[in-house]
Amino acid sequence: MDYSQFLLMHEELSLLAVILILFVADLFLCPDKKSGKGIYNTCLPVVLLGIHTALNLLPCSCANATEAFGGMYQYTPMMTIVKSVLSIGTLIVFLMAHKWLSRPENLVKQGEFYLLSLFTLLGMYFMIGSGHFLMFFIGLELASVPMTALIAFDKTKHESAEAGAKFILLALFSSALLLYGISLIYGATGSLYFDEISVLLDGSAFSIFGLVLFITGMGFKISLVPFHLWTADTYEGAPTSVTAFLSVISKGAAAFVLLTVFIKAFCASDLMYSWNTGLYWIIVASITVANLFAIRQNNLKRFMAFSAISQAGYLVLALMDGTAQGMTALVFYLLVYMVSNLGAFAVMTSVEENSGKILISDYDGLYATNPKLAFLMTLCLFSLAGIPPFAGFFSKFFVFMAAFKAGYPLLVFIALANTVISLYYYLLIVKAMYIKQPAGEAIPTFRSDNYTRLALALCILGVIVLGLGGVFYNYIDLFSYGV
Amino acid sequence: MESTILILLLPFFSFLLLGVFGKWFSHKAAGLVGTAVLAVVALLSYQTAYDYFFLTERTAEGALPTLIPYNVTWLPFFVNGLSFDMGILLDPISVMMLIVISTVSLMVHIYSFGYMHGERGFQRYYAFLSLFTMSMLGLVVATNIFQMYMFWELVGVSSYLLIGFYYQSPAAIAASKKAFIVTRFADLFFLIGILIYGYYCKSFGFDFSQEGFAAGAAMLPLSLFLMFIGGAGKSAMFPLHIWLPDAMEGPTPVSALIHAATMVVAGVFQIARLFPLWIEYAPDTLHIVAWIGAFTAFYAAAVACCQSDIKRVLAFSTISQIAFMMVSLGVCYEYTTGHEHVGSLGFMASMFHLFTHAMFKALLFLGAGCIIHAVHSNEMSAMGGLRKYMPITHITFLIACLAISGIPPFSGFFSKDEILTAAFAYMPAMGWIMTAIAAMTAFYMFRLYFGIFWGTENKELHAEHTPHEAPLTMTFPLMFLAVVTCFAGFIPFGHFVSADNMVYDIHLDWNVAGTSIIIAVASIFLATYMYIGERQPKADALAEKFQKLHRWAYKRFYLDEVYQFVTHRIIFAHISKPIAKFDRRIVDGFFNFLAWGTNGLSTAIRGFQSGSVQKYAFVFLLGTLALLAIMIFA
């Protein structure tokens, strides 16, 4: 066996190395239970993950498209970009989780948090790099089982445990359907290699059934309507940092995989039409239904859950155009959505950790007591709503452009009309922070810890700098590919 | 040449620094930061100019090349291969403008140190000056019309901010709003022009040798004229000039920088930038520009003769002089190359006048600033006899007056003479009209000069405190600009800037030059005769005799009142109000209905989110089946 093939997987291997180091470090460097001091406290994982990302982004490591292990593992330079986006996102989540992990009840088990999230990330890496349905499925499960443990991290809390239970039950349900779909595809083609499937698959009802079940499985991960019902309950129950991770990293990876697997395995021209029809209705339903629910929420985490479902609809809008342009739009949208959403979550975590409040009505008058936080939150919400000149405007623009070019003007119109509704509910929060007078005491003035500040700085930098759309877009465009 | 990007970035960073962290700076530190940055920018501009004019190799025909040292695609379109680019383009006119802007801006920065001493918001003032300088520099080095438009708007915004700098004075607020609205209104046409241009010619760039232009030739005159309307707004051409006199409410150094030397010539620069297109595809439209310019020049000169506020006189004289540049561009009739390019001599003349005018008009405004600083009033009645108290201001002001009147050897003579030559070459009538306006210029400038420095002293005012010469920070820029004004005429300008970028030797046409000198001297004598004395019986008698005409000219021919009437009585009352009603009742009503419906639907479906996992799984399964049905049977 040629062991040099392992070198192609250097991204996965270096992440694995990070995990192992942290695993050992957890044994020896666990912080003092009373003082909470110790090198292991946030700093080490962040630095290691930073090194890992930097190594991935080195120009020399972006090799040409290759495959290894007989096609089980496939690599294209685009994957490096997506993996880096995901690992940067994880890094930001680590930063903003610092205060939460420093709570006395979490101090001992904070090592678990890092390990579980990194294992999830590793699963996503494998899912992205897979060239075979078995590999894909293992990656998917590696990404969801630790996720459950993360959701139920505050195990003494009733909501957290309930959220974990709901998630694992529905995740199993969707995995079962997905496996059923894979077996149907195997039945239709006699193979599980993406390359072979793409040649053998035709537009028969049998293969469409397989495709539908595949979309269902991924739709659960991306939380698209009607596979989204777990989202609000889980987001509400899970610890806020985990919710942030769930809403961005896990969703983004799944959306990208949905597109790449489609390009690799399902791009038979007969399937293209039914793929687009299916996605069409999913997108319309996701954006509209999620918006309608988001209007009524008062719990900010539930609110963000519906906002995330609606954003996922926009994300999938890029998939309507299965070409290279669609992929660029998708990855750019993912990047921008990540910084905007994580920025909003960073503010939420900070407020929650310092005052314990999480309702929108608690945010009344935040501007008077914490003007900087309120302002940063506003920037992030503007970016999520797609107001120029923030990054969110450009990412939406490119996504709309891709769908429009693919020949779906009506869909773009529906999506546009929905941005108006989304603007309404994002502005509700801005209104609460700036205009409304608090009924009782407003959230008192506090100072965020430095890790949260760093996380916020990274996100805001992204929101502003990525607004210079073209440059980053063109860079991503260099690596993208399509049907 | 790579360092040119710093010319744009440095003022931008100083804007951010002073704008965001301004309150951490003392007045002195803020002023020093702003001035030091501008000094570096000026040095970089001079170095760029030196590199460009003397070290860059000319093309085989002997023309100066067009260089693009820096360019990025900012926003690509996916159709037609169009894109919005950002970059830096160096060619003779942009390099010339770099020198003009950075020099005048540096002088104004130094001058403001004294003039704005102790003002509230000193840091903010310097931040805005930096922003303006950045925008103006970005405008002239734009590689394409869209970038130009963006910086054009930024220039408009910074002008708005600076005019309204004294935001507690209602007059300043009104003036800044007026300036912004009028220029913005004109810019709308500019934008439409750009869109037509991009659509038909398939390009936003300034490389006019592509074949796309021939295809769009039919639409080019319209598009260019629309762009000119935008330019007319910024350059205060009749009837869009009404904002400029009011803009004098801003601090005087700002008037010198923005409303005399740089921003107001943006319209001239725009035509010069697109000159090959004008001359090739729209020569007739170009002549319309010339006649608009000629009328503006006459109108402004006539009004300037009767104003009593010294800054307003200067404002109208600026309008008139910019109109000279417009005329000069407009009288070009053919794109000839070679040594005797009479047909496009006006291009060179216009740019030359732009250069000299920027210097002496900045000098006039800065001088006026010193005077206002000394007597605390803009009105000529508060002045008189100041030559004894303010010798430096007096001499430099006189030099500028001689220059603008076209007396050799001062710079204005040379550039104005080229304009007149170009005008005579186009049509003798135009030549004579412009000569007559030049005579009016000499008359009103010396009326102003005698009114300030000679004539009756205002004893009451001087009793309170005697006027005194301004500090060195204010007089140094005056002296510097005066020296430039004395010698700029001898620059072989045609070697650097000409319509075809080739070397052109300026040679005076003594018929034209002689006539204009004689007429200018005669007007100066007339002004001396009328205004030098302690009392001015002749002028008063004349004003008495043509009372109505004088009143009309003093009131600027009631144009502002006409605008008021048209906007308030006609547009607001009969068009806007009904539309507003329609908007409130029907359009808003429709959306309120939609919002009501959305809210209702949202309440209706909330039962789905029940919290029970069994139900979730059930919906999940139903969804899968529905999707299957859609995908198979669609």
* Eight-class DSSP state of B379: B
- Cα angle A183-A185-A190, degrees, rounded to a multiple of 5: 90
CA A433 to CA B474: how far, in whole Å? 48
Backbone φ and ψ of B154, nearest 5°: -60, -40
The pLDDT, as a whole number, for residue A34 is 58
Whole-number CA gyration radius for chain A: 21
Cβ-nearest to A469 among B75, B602, B631: B75
Q: Which residue of B lies nearest to A292 if distances are taken between CA atoms?
A: B602
A229 contacts in B (CB within 8 Å)?
A: 608-609, 615-616, 619-620
Residue A257 has pLDDT above 80, yes or no: yes
Percent of chain B whose predicted confidence (pLDDT) is above 90: 15
Structural domain includes residue A121 = yes
From the centroid of its chain, how far is CA A230?
A: 16
Cβ-nearest to A229 among B84, B602, B609: B609
Interface with A, mutate which of B12, B73, B614, B628 (most A CBs under 10 A) = B628
| Residue B168, min C-alpha distance to chain A (Å) | 26
User: How distant, in Å, are the alpha carbons of A41, A163, A235, A280 from that of A238?
Assistant: 21, 6, 5, 31
With cut-offs at 50, 70 and 90, classify the pLDDT of residue B511.
Answer: confident
> Is A470 touching B (CB cutoff 8 A)?
yes
From the centroid of its chain, how far is CA A141?
A: 16
Structural domain includes residue A482 = no
Cβ-nearest to B620 among A173, A208, A405: A173
CB pair distance less than 8 Å for B634 and A226:
no
Interface with A, mutate which of B85, B609, B633 (most A CBs under 10 A) = B609
Q: Convert the pLDDT of each residue in A194-212 to its tens digit.
A: 888 888 887 788 888 888 9
* Eight-class DSSP state of B93: H
Average pLDDT over residues A353-358: 87
Q: Which residue of B lies nearest to A237 if distances are taken between CA atoms?
A: B611
CB pair distance less than 8 Å for B624 and A401:
no
Burial class for B212, CB neighbours closer than 10 Å (0-12, 13-18, 19+): middle
Average pLDDT over residues A309-320: 91
Structural domain includes residue A50 = yes
CA B173 to CA B164: how far, in whole Å? 5
Residue B624, token pair as written in the block: 């899968």
* Eight-class DSSP state of B242: T
Interface with B, mutate which of A212, A420, A423 (most B CBs under 10 A) = A212
Cβ-nearest to B619 among A226, A273, A469: A226
On whether the CB atoms of residues B87 and B72 are closer than 8 A, the answer is yes
What is the C-alpha end-to-end distance of chain B, expressed in Å?
A: 61
Q: Which residue of A lies nearest to B72 if distances are taken between CA atoms?
A: A471
| Residue B347, min C-alpha distance to chain A (Å) | 37
Helix (H) or strand (E) holding A17: helix A10-28
Closest CA to B201 of B284, B282, B82: B82
The pLDDT, as a whole number, for residue A469 is 58
Peptide bond into A146 cis (omega under 30): no
Residue A39 has pLDDT above 60, yes or no: no
With cut-offs at 50, 70 and 90, classify the pLDDT of residue B609.
Answer: confident
CA A135 to CA A129: how far, in whole Å? 9
What is the C-alpha end-to-end distance of chain A, expressed in Å?
A: 33
Structural domain includes residue A347 = yes
Closest CA to B303 of B518, B560, B566, B568: B560
CA B324 to CA B622: how far, in whole Å? 78
A213 contacts in B (CB within 8 Å)?
A: 624
The set of long-range contacts for A443-446, using a CB threshold of 8 Å and a minimum separation of 24, is A443/A351, A443/A354, A443/A355, A443/A357, A443/A362, A443/A363, A443/A365, A443/A366, A443/A369, A443/A370, A444/A355, A444/A369, A445/A369, A445/A370, A446/A354, A446/A355, A446/A370
With cut-offs at 50, 70 and 90, classify the pLDDT of residue B414.
Answer: confident
* Torsion angle, alpha carbons of A369, A372, A376, A378, to 10: 50
Peptide bond into A226 cis (omega under 30): yes
Peptide bond into B253 cis (omega under 30): no
Residue B210 has pLDDT above 70, yes or no: no
Which residues neighbour A302 within 8 Å (Cβ) at sequence distance 6 or greater? A232, A235, A236
Sign of CA dihedral A353, A355, A360, A364: negative
B630 contacts in A (CB within 8 Å)?
A: 277-278, 281
Q: Where are the beta strands (DSSP E) in B77-194?
A: 83-90
B78 contacts in A (CB within 8 Å)?
A: 325, 401, 405
Neighbours of B3 (CB within 10 A): 11
With cut-offs at 50, 70 and 90, classify the pLDDT of residue A2.
Answer: confident
Structural domain includes residue A483 = no
Whole-number CA gyration radius for chain B: 28
Residue B460, token pair as written in the block: 């009451």
| Residue A268, min C-alpha distance to chain B (Å) | 15
CA A382 to CA A343: how far, in whole Å? 11
With cut-offs at 50, 70 and 90, classify the pLDDT of residue A429.
Answer: very high
Average pLDDT over residues A328-353: 93
CB pair distance less than 8 Å for A229 and B608:
yes
| Residue A60, min C-alpha distance to chain B (Å) | 25
Average pLDDT, chain A: 87
CB pair distance less than 8 Å for B599 and A295:
yes
Burial B486-509 (b: 16+ CB within 10 A, else e): bebbebebbebbbbbbbebebeee
B626 contacts in A (CB within 8 Å)?
A: 226
Cβ-nearest to A292 among B605, B623, B632: B605
Residue A23, token pair as written in the block: 């695993």
User: Which of A13-27, A278-292, B466-480, B546-560 has the least mean pLDDT?
Assistant: B546-560
B609 contacts in A (CB within 8 Å)?
A: 229, 232, 293
Peptide bond into B409 cis (omega under 30): yes
Average pLDDT over residues B248-261: 85
Q: Which residue of B lies nearest to A418 if distances are taken between CA atoms?
A: B598
Residue B267, token pair as written in the block: 């319209």
Residue A274 has pLDDT above 90, yes or no: no
CB pair distance less than 8 Å for B624 and A213:
yes
| Helical spans, DSSP H, in A102-204 | 104-107, 110-129, 133-151, 158-189, 194-200
In sequence order, the β-bridge partners of residue B72 are B86
Domain that holds residue A94: 3-477
With cut-offs at 50, 70 and 90, classify the pLDDT of residue A61.
Answer: low
Chain A, residues 334-393, CB within 8 A of chain B, namely none
Which residues neighbour A212 within 8 Å (Cβ) at sequence distance 6 or greater? A181, A278, B624, B627, B628, B631
Sign of CA dihedral A258, A261, A266, A267: positive
CB pair distance less than 8 Å for A468 and B74:
yes
Burial class for A291, CB neighbours closer than 10 Å (0-12, 13-18, 19+): buried
| Residue B82, min C-alpha distance to chain A (Å) | 13
Residue A343, token pair as written in the block: 């920025």
Chain A, residues 34-73, CB within 8 A of chain B, namely none
In sequence order, the β-bridge partners of residue A132 are A193
Residue B200, token pair as written in the block: 């038909």
Cβ-nearest to A296 among B73, B602, B611: B602
Residue A309 has pLDDT above 90, yes or no: yes
Neighbours of A411 (CB within 10 A): 22
Neighbours of B483 (CB within 10 A): 13
Structural domain includes residue A220 = yes
How many interchain CB pairs under 8 A, A with B? 98
Residue A152, token pair as written in the block: 């139920």
Chain A, residues 273-292, CB within 8 A of chain B, namely 273-275, 277-278, 281-282, 289, 292
Q: How many structural domains does chain A have? A: 1
The pLDDT, as a whole number, for residue A63 is 64
Residue B51, token pair as written in the block: 């590199």
Chain A, residues 171-190, CB within 8 A of chain B, namely 173-174, 177
Tracing tokens 């939150």 back to the chain, one arrives at: A377
Which residues neighbour A358 within 8 Å (Cβ) at sequence distance 6 or greater? A240, A299, A300, A301, A348, A351, A352
With cut-offs at 50, 70 and 90, classify the pLDDT of residue A441.
Answer: confident
CA A458 to CA B298: how far, in whole Å? 59
Closest CA to B12 of B153, B99, B129: B129
| Residue B600, min C-alpha distance to chain A (Å) | 9
In sequence order, the β-bridge partners of residue B90 are B67
CB pair distance less than 8 Å for B623 and A226:
yes
CA B95 to CA A35: how far, in whole Å? 64
Residue B538 has pLDDT above 70, yes or no: no
- Cα angle A317-A323-A324, degrees, rounded to a multiple of 5: 105
CA A319 to CA A403: how far, in whole Å? 8
The set of long-range contacts for B589-598, using a CB threshold of 8 Å and a minimum separation of 24, is B595/A424, B598/A292, B598/A295, B598/A421
Chain A, residues 226-265, CB within 8 A of chain B, namely 226-227, 229-230, 232-233
In sequence order, the β-bridge partners of residue A67 are A74
CA B207 to CA B91: how far, in whole Å? 12
On whether the CB atoms of residues B171 and B249 are closer than 8 A, the answer is yes
The pLDDT, as a whole number, for residue A455 is 92
Q: Convert the pLDDT of each residue in B113-168 to its tens digit.
A: 888 888 888 888 889 989 999 999 999 999 888 889 999 999 999 999 988 888 88
CA A419 to CA B283: how far, in whole Å? 48
CB pair distance less than 8 Å for B601 and A292:
yes
Structural domain includes residue A73 = yes
CB pair distance less than 8 Å for B624 and A216:
yes
Structural domain includes residue A181 = yes
The pLDDT, as a whole number, for residue A154 is 87
B608 contacts in A (CB within 8 Å)?
A: 229
B598 contacts in A (CB within 8 Å)?
A: 292, 295, 421
With cut-offs at 50, 70 and 90, classify the pLDDT of residue A30.
Answer: low
CB pair distance less than 8 Å for A296 and B606:
yes
Which residues neighbour B574 within 8 Å (Cβ) at sequence distance 6 or greater? none
On whether the CB atoms of residues A481 and A76 are closer than 8 A, the answer is yes
| Residue A423, min C-alpha distance to chain B (Å) | 12
Residue A176 has pLDDT above 90, yes or no: yes
* Torsion angle, alpha carbons of A204, A206, A209, A215, to 10: -70
